[in-house]
Structure formats: structure tokens, C-alpha cells
Amino acid sequence: MQQYSGYIFDLDGTIYLGNEAIDGAVDTINYLLGLGKKVLFLTNKTIESRQHYCRKLTSLGIPVQLNAILSPSVVTVHYLKRNHPQAKVYVIGEDILKRELSEQGILFADKPEETDVIVISWDREFHYSHLNFAYKAIKRGAAVIATHPDRTCPMPGGDVPDCGGMIGAVEGTTGMKVDIIMGKPSLLTVEAALDVLQLEAKDCLMTGDRLETDIRMGNEAGMSTALVLTGVTRREDIGTSEIKPTYVLQSVHHIGSGRMIGSAE
């Protein structure tokens, strides 16, 4: 599995859980960097900044630069500027996401009737007023996008509800589907990742703990994919899913000796 030029890694459930690195993850990443491989980290999480992830990875023993972190906030900014220039946006999301959008010149709406785009993200203080605002704006014709589709986020004490809950509330009340999703498994994220790496999809290995986001995205982009069993997905889930990874690994520690799907660990 060292034949690839680029290695793309999910973070939560793949490189670490909470504030603890997964066994072997630090050694694996530093080993790949020592071989001169290009490494990029993808997160669907929007409750922390990219600077936070740089500091966190560095503190765990993986020194990285800002351009090695790709988040939905980056993809969302690019999408809004390209497809909705000068649009007024209402964000269901936490302050860090709002700050990142504001710093990039995204305009915010104060009333449903002036809202052009609803951005749905993970918000641990999500409440009825958010839902009511979004409902009124969407009924008036506002476009609706989401930063990522994750239903849950793996944490040391167990999974917690993620952006999928906010998406479900909005779709359930409006009867309308989200127009487009920015983060994994969106090909918008793939395009951004390959642009950063300056590589073709066939030369990359996508590694993550979720079949429906990490592995689906890599497969659809034409990458090889490695599912790790340190996060959300369990081995028994593979048999019932239409999404099949190239490799199944107990953890990223096995990047150097990954076995094909279906073999014993």
C-alpha cells in the first residue's frame, strides 16, 4: 500500500479519537512523510478551525501546515463565491464556521425575506428559532446547502449527533431536500483535495472510518480506498453495504501491510 503518491486521511475515528491519537497513527503518517509522500487531512467537522487541527495534530506528533487540512468551510466559501456571489446567507452552525465565512467576505442575512442561501452545519445549540428562520427563508425560495452529511461524530465516550440531525429537521419541515453538500462524500471536496495535492485520483489512497462518506467519495472519484475499523464502521457493516473499500484495515497502523477485503485480520 505504499505504491500511492498521495494519501488522504479522515481525522475523527481514523487518526484520533477525542484528544488521543489512535495507536500507530502518528508513526504511520510520519513514515509516509519520510518516504516523500503527499499527505492531506480531510475533516467534515465544522466546530473547529483549520488552525485548531494544525495545532492538535502537531501536539500529537504530526507536524502539519495549514494547507494540509481541508474542511467543509473552505469548500463552502469557494462554492458560495463561485455560485452565489454577493448572496446573503443564514448559517445554522457554530461561531467558528460563521467567523470563517465572515472573514472570507460572505454576507449574512438578518431576516428570512432577505436570505438567498441557507447553510446547514453541525450546531450543538440548534433550536427552534434556527429551524423557523430556515423554514421561512426556504419557502421564499432560498437555496439550501449543507457542509456535511454525517449523522454522528465518533467520540471517546460514544457517537454524538452531528449535522445529519440539523439536515433532517430542515428537510422534514420543508419537505425539500438539501440542494448540495460540500463535505465528504461530495466531489466538490475531491476536486479541492486533488487541487491541493496536484495529483490524479488514481494515484491516491483515501482512508477513513465511514463507508457512506470517506469510502464512497474515494470510490466515486476513482481512488483506492481503505476502511479502518477504529471509528464508526464495524466489519459486519461491510457485508450489508453496497459501498466496498479496496482494503479493510484494523487501523491506519496497517497501511504498510493492509489486506484485501474479506481476508482475516
13-22, 128-137, 154-163, 233-242: lowest mean pLDDT where?
154-163
Task: Specify whether the CB–CB gap between 205 and 35 falls below 8 A.
Answer: no
pLDDT attached to residue 256: 63
CA R_g for the chain: 18
Average confidence (pLDDT) over 67-74: 93
Helix, strand or coil, per DSSP, at residue 89 = strand
Which CATH code for domain 6-44+184-260? 3.40.50.1000
pLDDT band at 155 (very low <50, low <70, confident <90, very high): confident
Residue 61 zone, left/alpha/beta (φ > 0; ψ -120 to 50; rest): left
Contacts of 196 (CB under 8 A, 6+ apart): 40, 67, 68, 70
Residue 156 has pLDDT above 90, yes or no: no
Task: Name residues whose C-beta falls within 8 Å of residue 186's C-beta, 6 or more positions apart in sequence.
Answer: 75, 180, 217
pLDDT band at 45 (very low <50, low <70, confident <90, very high): confident
User: Looking at the chain, which residues constitute the CATH 3.40.50.1000 domain(s)?
Assistant: 6-44+184-260, 73-181
pLDDT at 258: 46
40 bridge partner residues? 8
pLDDT value of residue 259: 47
How large is the average pLDDT for residues 136-145? 97
Residue reference for cell 472570507 = 104
pLDDT at position 262 is: 44
pLDDT at 265: 40
- The CA-based angle 146-172-83, given to 5 degrees, is 30
Contacts of 144 (CB under 8 A, 6+ apart): 117, 118, 120, 134, 138, 170, 174, 176, 178, 179
Q: What is the DSSP letter of 137?
A: H
Return d(Cα 95, Cα 182) in angstroms, integer: 18
Q: What is the pLDDT of residue 261?
A: 46
> pTM score, two decimals?
0.81
Topology (CATH) of 73-181: Rossmann fold (3.40.50)
Query: In one letter, which amino acid is 115?
Result: T
Tell me the average pLDDT across 234-260. 86
In this prediction, residue 264 carries a pLDDT of: 35
Beta strands in the chain (DSSP E): 6-10, 16-17, 20-21, 38-42, 69-70, 88-92, 107-108, 117-120, 143-146, 152-153, 160-161, 180-181, 204-208, 224-228, 247-249, 259-260
Provide, rounded to the nearest whole percent, the portion of the chain with pLDDT above 90.
84
Q: Is the pLDDT of residue 99 over 60?
A: yes
Question: Predicted confidence band at 44 (pLDDT cuts at 50, 70, 90)?
Answer: confident
Q: Say what the pLDDT of residue 59 is.
A: 96
The pLDDT tens digits of the residues spanning 170-213 come to: 999 999 999 899 988 999 999 999 999 999 999 999 999 999 99
The mean pLDDT value of the chain amounts to: 92
What is the torsion angle, in degrees rounded to the nearest 10, for the CA atoms of residue 177, residue 181, residue 187 and residue 191? 150
Nine-digit cell string for 83 = 455560485
